[in-house]
A = this chain, B = another copy of it.
Amino acid sequence: MEKYHCKAAYILEASVPSEEKAMAMADFFKVFGDTTRIKILSLLLESELCVHDIATLLNMEQSAISHQLRVLRQNKLVKVRKEGKSSHYTILDNHVYKIITQGLDHLSE
C-alpha cells in the first residue's frame, strides 16, 4: 500500500516547513490578528502618536493600549521615542504597510 495518494506528495516531503519556521511565521501574523492592534497600526501609519492620544482616539483604556503597544514593540513593528512624560510611537517596519494593504485587497474582493 502506498504512503501517499498524490504523486506530488513524495516530492513535497522536502518542503515540509520546520516547526520553528512555521511557528515564527504564525507568531508574526498573530500580531495582525487582533482588532485593537490593527486599529493602532492603522493610526500609526498616518502619523506618530503618544499612548494617551491613541487611547483617546480608540476610546479605550490606556492600559489596554499600552499592553498592545508592548506586543507591537516586541515584534519590532513599532518604535518608541520618549519625550518628557510621554512616549511617542511610530511604525518601524515597512512591511506593515504592505501587509495591511494585502489584507485590504483580499477583503475588497
- Residue numbers of A with Cβ under 8 A of B are 3-6, 8-9, 11-13, 15-17, 19, 22-30, 32-39, 42-43, 46-50, 52-53, 56-58, 86, 88, 93, 95, 98-100, 102-107, 109
Contact = CB atoms under 8 A, between A and B. Distances in A.
B107 A53 contact: no
Given A22-B38, A35-B26, A38-B26, A5 B52 contact: yes
A37 B29 CA distance: 11
> DSSP class of A's interface residues: helix, strand, loop or mixed?
helix
Given A5-B50, A30-B33, A53-B9, A95 B106 contact: yes
B104 A25 contact: yes
Contacts of A37: 26
